[in-house]
Amino acid sequence: MPSTALPPDARPALVLLHSSMSSRAQWSDLIAQQTSRFRCIAVDLLGYGKSPFPADIGAAFSLAHEADAVNAALAAHLDPAEPFHLVGHSYGGATALRIARQMPARVLSLALFEPVAFHLLPADDAARMEIEAVVADIMRADTAHDATRLFIDYWNRPGVFASLPAVQQDKLSGQIAKVKLDFQALLGEPATLADLAALDMPALVLYGLNSPASTRRLAERLAAALPNAGALQTKGGHMAPISHAAVVNAALADFLQGAEVGSPA
């Protein structure tokens, strides 16, 4: 059977954005599987992996700052007008939506696993009110350790943080300051579901069977708002791209193959 691998210079670009308290390494399995077909570019979001913590921004931090940092990183890999496929998980998914709105002509396809873009929902939506209550608890927690416990247990299940080794608890707690900025950026973004009407590239919104009701509801609303989107439920919860990577990566691979077949030559 002939190889389906493309010459390195002919492969389309695939940009991958990770969740909060993670890094570009979360996509290593997907990259290994797709490197023959795509030039995979996984970016560390600000304050994670090898990317610096956002400096001198404070209360003004927004998704625009995050998107600008991603675009600056991409400039080292892509020509200024070069198109790319875009995948994002959680906070990385919300950042991907911001990037797609900024440069829709360059985004060939958009695949999102539970983007936490709660700003898209009206203030009285149950999903938005649920996450705003969680954020309020995190913000008023007495210690970074307590705030991190609330964050980890919400996205997984109660008791998960306590079950982790102390060294891992400390590492995660060291990232909670950026998580707070992430939430600030998410809830401060002015976009609404109506603003997504112009994003007519092929899109897929994935969500986990065991995820919180807030992200499942948002995923359903988002899939309905994007003009050319489908929705897909997978095994696992909000962190399924890590905990159930084989399942999620297979779904992403199928979507990307279809999107690439439909891309203009």
Half-sphere exposure of 194 (CA within 13 A, CB side): 2
Q: Is 109 helix (H, G, I), strand (E, B) or coil?
A: strand
CA dihedral 12, 13, 16, 17 (to 10 degrees): -140
| Both tokens assigned to 64 | 């625009």
**AA letter at 209:** L
- What does each of the 265 residues of the chain score in pLDDT, given as a tens digit? 444 555 557 899 999 999 999 999 999 999 999 999 999 999 999 999 999 999 877 678 999 999 999 999 999 999 999 999 999 999 999 999 999 999 999 999 999 999 999 999 999 999 999 999 999 999 999 999 999 999 999 999 999 999 999 999 999 999 999 999 999 999 999 999 999 999 999 999 999 999 999 999 999 999 999 999 999 999 999 999 999 999 999 999 999 999 987 665 4
Comparing C-alpha atoms, which of 5, 4, 72 is closest to residue 41? Answer: 72
- pLDDT for 5 equals 58
HEC-encoded secondary structure of 59-96: HHCCHHHHHHHHHHHHCCCCCCCCCEEEEEECHHHHHH
Q: Is 41 helix (H, G, I), strand (E, B) or coil?
A: strand
Comparing C-alpha atoms, which of 119, 133, 138 is closest to residue 64? Answer: 119
How far does CA 182 lie from the centroid of its chain? 12
pTM equals 0.94
Comparing C-alpha atoms, which of 141, 237, 83 is closest to residue 149? Answer: 141
- pLDDT for 7 equals 59
CB 116, CB 45: distance < 8 Å: no
CB 118, CB 128: distance < 8 Å: yes
C-alpha distances (whole Å) from 265 to each of 3, 10, 261 are 20, 11, 9
- pLDDT for 189 equals 95
